[in-house]
Amino acid sequence: MARIRWGRVAGWAVLGLVMLVTLFPFYWMLRTSFSNTRALAAGAADLLPVDFTLGAYRRVLGLSSTAEAVAEGGSSGTVNFWLYLRNSIVVSTLTTAGQVFFGALAAYAFARLRWPGRNAVFTLFVTALMVPPIFTTLPNFVLIKELGLLNTFLGIVLPHLLMTPFAVFFLRQFFLGINASVEEAARIDGAGHVRTFFRIVLPMSRGPIATLAILTYITSWNDYFWPLLVGKAENVRVLTVALGVFRSQTPQGSPDWAGLMAATLFAALPIMVLFALLGRRVIDSIGYTGVK
Amino acid sequence: MPRTPKPPFRRRLGDLPVAVLFVLPAAAGFALFYLWPAIRGAYLSLTRYNVLTPPRFIGLENYEKLFGDRLFWNALKVTAEYVVLNIVSQTVISMLLAVLLYRLTRSMLVRGIVLLPYLVANVIVALLWFWMLDFQLGVVNNVIEWLGFDRVAFFGSDLAIPTIAGINTWRHMGYTALLIFAGLQMIPPSVYEAAAIDGASEWRTFWRVTLPLLRPVMALVMVLSVIGSFQVFDTIAVTTGGGPINATRVIYFYIYDLAFNRFNFGYAAALSSVLFVLLAGIAYLQLRLSRAGESDLRGA
């Protein structure tokens, strides 16, 4: 048995190493964000914040004066963090609400209703899963431009507001598993399909709907390419795009590392909080999305 | 109780009126933002188009131009290099991690920790590692120097692609490991008991039992990660921006550059079509080669 025990020790050692490699960068983000950018050069390898200061956070939140920012090695450019945070929340919330709701409607029709052409239409929807996004992104950009929706929230959310093939596919799988007797009981009570869907099927599927909503919210929150193309203007710029802009504004020679790390930490925080609250659901969903 | 007979016409339609109502929003979204752009993209690839003036049809000229375009071949080469490095490191590490998780712990906390990088935006991951790998001040280079080696220019032309592959491996390894982990959980314990009775070693059991039974899951994981890594963009956009010179100008970045910096939409659309065909071909080949639909479990 000694051999197996040693195996376990070695296994835990490797697993511990992986977890360290996973977590250390997050710690380093935190440590840097509390440092003074000017002092970082002297204490580049210090494990604790160098010359501890909240200056980076004050800069990012727009609370410090230009003179203060420059004194700590920050750029004199202003970061409108609260505006970008609002924009990210608007975009992710609209996308999630629309996509989950309309996705659920369609999924119900594909799973529980009988109509000619059902399977053909569903196959068409799912085929779109295979098309790489770049193929549709350029024409979609042209369309959004023609509609005059560049630099509007609607332009950013519209392509994913009404459907993604994944959302329809994901929910259909769950609706297929609902017992037919539930619908029969509803029918006997005189409920039509619309009523059955809203009063019975939706409440029954709270779990999978919540899972899809979380996944959609995270994806939407992290999206960069599309909002970069259609939402460059300040009033609709989301956090990921703002971070890219912030990065390109900092001088190549000596970027404001503390400011950058404070900003990235802020941008990552909502997702981490969401994950801390709903972690199990997110983790469980991966097995489902992958293996099914 | 005898049912009132329905006219056959209505029976054929079934729930059609309600179904139309339910499917309409999604169908509109599909038609407008998937179907129409797909058709339009194919058409635009046959035109010269700068978005400001109407597209002008030029036939296959864009595709012919591709053959002589050194930047295109370079982008293809750089992308291939990235994909291979990323897939190999990601698959090996994720497999190891999945097996360790499976054998050692059911802990949700541990699983949550390894998944964490995947939940953070690419842009954030890229900025974080850009800082940690900085030549002057990055902690990684400080450790390297402390160990007695020379500082490494991680984003220099030779190492930029391996570095970016490494960063994205870090971001994705937990997610991929959990996919494989889910596959491991589907293997019935009786198979392992049988292997143990036969006296098979841990190593042998992995190669002879675990890996073959995982094939359907691995096929899916490979298709997902190959297709995903062909589309690397965010990490490069916020770190190297395609440089130094063209060392990290991957296909996605080249398409973006053509369309939005050089306003050459038609040519960019042609490149997207080529990428589409390439990815479809790879996915088809992968699924065929790995016999994805079959599982050895049925025979067992």
Average pLDDT over residues A152-160: 96
Sequence length of chain B is 300
Residue B22 to residue A105, Cβ atoms within 8 A: yes
Task: Evaluate if residue A228 carries a pLDDT over 90.
Answer: yes
pLDDT at residue A99 greater than cutoff 60: yes
Report which secondary-structure segment, H or E, holds A110. Answer: helix A81-112
Domain membership flag for residue B207:
yes
Domains and CATH numbers, chain A: 27-77+249-288 (no CATH), 85-231 (1.10.3720.10)
B172: in domain: yes
Which residues partner with B48 through β-bridges? B56
Residue with tokens 């160098």: A50
For residue B258, being part of any structural domain is answered with yes
Residue B268: pLDDT above 90? Answer: yes
Residue B23 included in any domain: no
Q: What residues in A contact B13, CB-CB < 8 Å?
A: 115-116
- CB atoms inside a 10 Å sphere around CB B18: 18
> Does residue B299 register a pLDDT over 50?
no
Residues 6+ apart with CB under 8 A from B40: A139, A142, A143
B178-182, B199-203, B266-270: which has the minimum mean pLDDT? B199-203
pLDDT at A78: 61
Sign of the dihedral defined by the CA atoms of residues B252, B254, B257, B258, in that order: negative
Residue B90 domain-assigned (yes or no): yes
- Of chain B, the percentage scoring pLDDT greater than 70 comes to 93
Predicted confidence band of residue B296 (pLDDT cuts 50, 70, 90): low
Q: How many CB atoms lie within 10 A of CB A205?
A: 20
Which B-chain residues 82-141 have CB contacts (< 8 A) with chain A? Answer: 93, 96-97, 100-101, 103-105, 108, 110-117, 119-124, 127-132, 134, 136-139
What whole-number distance in Å separates Cα of residue B117 and Cα of residue B167? 10
Please tell me the predicted confidence (pLDDT) of residue B284.
86
In whole angstroms, what is the distance from residue B33 CA to residue B19 CA?
21
> What does the pLDDT read at residue B10?
57
pLDDT in tens, B140-164: 999 999 999 999 999 998 899 999 9
Residue A1: predicted pLDDT: 45
Interface predicted TM-score (ipTM) of this complex, two decimals:
0.90
Alpha-helix residue ranges (DSSP H) falling in chain B: 8-13, 16-30, 36-44, 61-68, 70-104, 108-119, 122-132, 139-146, 160-185, 189-197, 202-205, 211-213, 215-230, 234-238, 251-260, 265-289
Q: Is residue B24 part of a domain?
A: no
Structural domain contains residue B246: yes
pLDDT at residue B236 is higher than 60: yes
Residue B53 domain-assigned (yes or no): no
pLDDT at residue A241 is higher than 90: yes
B6 vs A149, higher pLDDT = A149
Minimum mean pLDDT among A169-178, A220-229, B193-202: which range? B193-202
pLDDT of residue A181: 87
- What pLDDT does residue A291 have? 45
Compute the distance between CA of residue B189 and CA of residue B195 in angstroms, rounded to an integer: 10
Band of residue A61 on the pLDDT scale cut at 50, 70, 90 = confident
- Measure A152 CA to nearest chain B CA, in Å: 17
Which range marks the domain in which residue B237 is found? 69-290
B107-116, B152-161, B200-209, range with the lowest pLDDT: B200-209
- The CATH number for B88's domain is 1.10.3720.10
* pLDDT tens per residue across span B115-141: 999 999 999 999 999 999 988 888 999
What one-character DSSP code corresponds to residue B31?
I
Counting beta carbons within 10 angstroms of the beta carbon of residue A184, is it exposed (0 to 12), middle (13 to 18) or buried (19 or more)? exposed
Q: Global pTM? A: 0.90
Round the CA-based radius of gyration of chain A to a whole number and report it: 24
pLDDT given for residue A60 in this prediction: 81
Confidence at A35, pLDDT banded by 50, 70, 90: confident
Lowest mean pLDDT among A71-75, A226-230, B255-259: A71-75
- Residues A44 and A62: their CA atoms lie apart, in Å, by 26
Give the per-residue pLDDT at A56.
Answer: 83
pLDDT at A77: 58
pLDDT of B27 above 70: yes
pLDDT of residue B251: 93
Candidates A51, A123, A135, partner chain B, best to mutate (most B CBs within 10 A): A135
Mean residue pLDDT of chain B comes to 88
Least confident of A244-253, A266-275, B246-255: A244-253
H/E element, A265 = helix A257-291
Q: What is the mean pLDDT of residues B48-63?
A: 91
Closest CB to B38: pick one of A29, A136, A247.
Answer: A136
Residue A179 has a CB neighbour count (10 Å cut-off) of 9
Closest among B131, B225, B193, B30 to A164, alpha carbons compared: B30
Total domains, chain B = 1
Tell me how far apart the alpha carbons of residues A69 and A128 are, in angstroms, rounded to a whole number.
Answer: 48
**For range B237-256, the mean pLDDT:** 90
Question: What per-residue confidence (pLDDT) applies to A4?
Answer: 58
**Chain A residues with CB-CB distance to B120 below 8 A:** 222, 268, 271-272
Contact B119, A271 (CB under 8 A): yes
Report the candidate in A49, A46, A72, A50 with the shortest Cα–Cα distance to residue A60. Answer: A72
